[in-house]
Amino acid sequence: MRRTPSVISLLVALALVAVPVAHALSGRAERAVAGPPAPSEPGAALLIAGSPPQPFAVARALRERKRAVALAAAAGEGADVLVDKRRGLGPRYRPRDLVVPRVAFLAGTSPEGRRLRRPAARALERLFAAARRDGVPLAGVSGYRSFASQKALFAGYARERGVENAAHVSARAGHSEHQTGLAIDISGADGRCAASRCFAGTRPARWLARHAAEHGFVVRYPRGRERVTGYDHEPWHLRYVGVALAREVVDSGRTLDELLAR
């Protein structure tokens, strides 16, 4: 004869089932209150809704650090100055460390135009030596240019082309990179197409586009970025910023305006 379970035995059985269930629910509630696991826990980044994948975050942090180091290096040489259509230099500004680099210049280059700031001059000597080893002799066309000289130059362009058109190929006084002593126009040693559009098709122009950054220079007004720089493409116009920042400009595909603007 089968015996009917007593009330007490039924209550004990129910209690045995309820305890682990309650414990599981309690643990789930504690996790809900505490929130997702800390990012340091394995796999935690995958559980946090909206967090970027970790490899991308690391890559972005490395890029930002590389850029910060490059900017600091340029600042250490005073090569992080930004001169453009909005930011300018006063009429009395003249760098104190102007020197004449030991490189060839075209015969028509003025004594003033043969000068550069010392770090740019030493870097230019290395650039010219490297080009010569590659069989591409170069010549300087115009380096430092004073406020007064730039004023006269722009006035000449304005008379020839009108002020609006002149502003695409020449800077107003105080807004020329040449006044910083960090910029120089370069041609081949033969002077062919010096500071002219046809220079873009020459071997010296191609060499500069490939190798200028190795020596701390960038082509300041690149093709296709006219709306950013405000000037027509000038493959002959180099600006010294130091090797680290020059490589950052090339690697990022950004202009100096975009990297230095604050």
Q: Which residues are catalytic?
A: 234
The first and second tokens of residue 132, run together, are: 């010569």
- Listed in sequence order, the DSSP H helices in 144-202 are 147-161, 163-166
Count of all residues that appear for the chain in the document: 262
* Matching residue, tokens 């006044």: 179
| Alpha carbon separation from 25 to 18, 29, 138, 244 (Å, rounded) | 11, 6, 79, 57
**Which of 179, 178, 172 is CA-nearest to residue 153?**
172
Interacting residues of 197 by C-beta distance below 8 A, sequence separation 6+: none
The first and second tokens of residue 182, run together, are: 């960090």
